[in-house]
Structure 1
Amino acid sequence: MKTARSCPHCGREVEFYRNPLPTVDVVIHVPGRGVVLVERANEPHGWALPGGFVDYGESCEAAALREAREETSLDVILTGLVGVYSDPLRDPRHHTLSVVYAAAAADPSRLKAGDDAAGVRIWPLDDLPSLAFDHARILEDYRRSLPGAAADLNRRHG
C-alpha cells in the first residue's frame, strides 16, 4: 500500500510504502528426537521455531542461518523450503511474511539458548507444546512433508 508523507527536513511529499516485514523461521530436525524450539524471552512469550527478521541487505538464507545460530547456538545446514507464510494475522505485532526453511544441525550437542531465547529444547513432533504465531501450522505442514507421512495418515484415517 502506497501513501504519501511530508519529509520532516524539506517538507516535500515523499512516497511511503507499507509492506509486510520479511522474516525467516527454521525447522531444525534432530533425527530420532524431534525439532528444536525456543522459549521466547520477548513478547509474545511462548515456544516457537527459531527465527526472526531479515536484515536489510541480507538474503533469507543468510538470515535463517544467523537466527538459528543466535537463538540456539547451532550451526545448521538448510535442507529445503517448508513454505512461505503470510497471513496478516500470523504475528500480533506486525504483518509479517515468513520464509520457512528445514534444516539439520551440524552438531546437536551444542544446543544452548542464545539471543532472544529464555530456553531451548528438542520436542518430539507428536508431543509439541502450545506454540506462538502460526508455528503449529508450520510444523504440521513440515510433518506432512516427511517421508512416510502420507502412508501414516492413510493408516490412521483409512
Structure 2
Amino acid sequence: MARAEFSVPVEVAAPAEHVWRTVTDWGHQGEWMLATRVRVIGGGDGRRLGATLEAVTGAGPLGVTDRMEIVEWTPPRRCVVRHLGRVVRGEGVFEVLPLGAERARFVWTELLDLPLGRLGALGWPLVRPAFRAGVELSLRRFKRRCEAVYPSP
C-alpha cells in the first residue's frame, strides 16, 4: 500500500497550552475544520490515550466517516490518532510547539495509507493540492479562533 505524508504548520499568537486545549476540543473542531463534524465515541471529552473519535467530512448527506483512536497522548504537545476507516487509513499527528510565552506553532501532519493500490498512488498528486488547501483553510480558521481569546499586542 502506498503512503502519502504531508505537514502543514501555522504560527498562533496564543500560549501553547491554549492552542493545545483548542485543538483537542474534539466536539468544537467542526467550528474551524472545513466541512467536518467530530464527536467522541463512548463518552467523556476524548482527551486520553485509547479514546475513540468519529469525524464526518462532507456536505449534507454526502460525507466520509473517519473513525480514529488516540494512540499517542502527550499533553500539551502531541497527539497521534490512527485512522481506522475504510477510506481514510494511517495516522494523523497534532503537535504544539511553544515559541515563547505567548506564541506557539501548531503542526498538522497526515501519514495516509492511500486506497486503491497503484491507482491511489497515481491519483494522489491530483488530489493532494485540494486536500492541502482544505487543511490550510482550516488552520487559518483555527488560528483566528485561538487568537480571538489572545489578541496580539
Shared fold (TM-score, shorter chain, > 0.5)? no
* Higher helix proportion: 2
**Superposition TM-score, scaled by structure 1 size:** 0.29
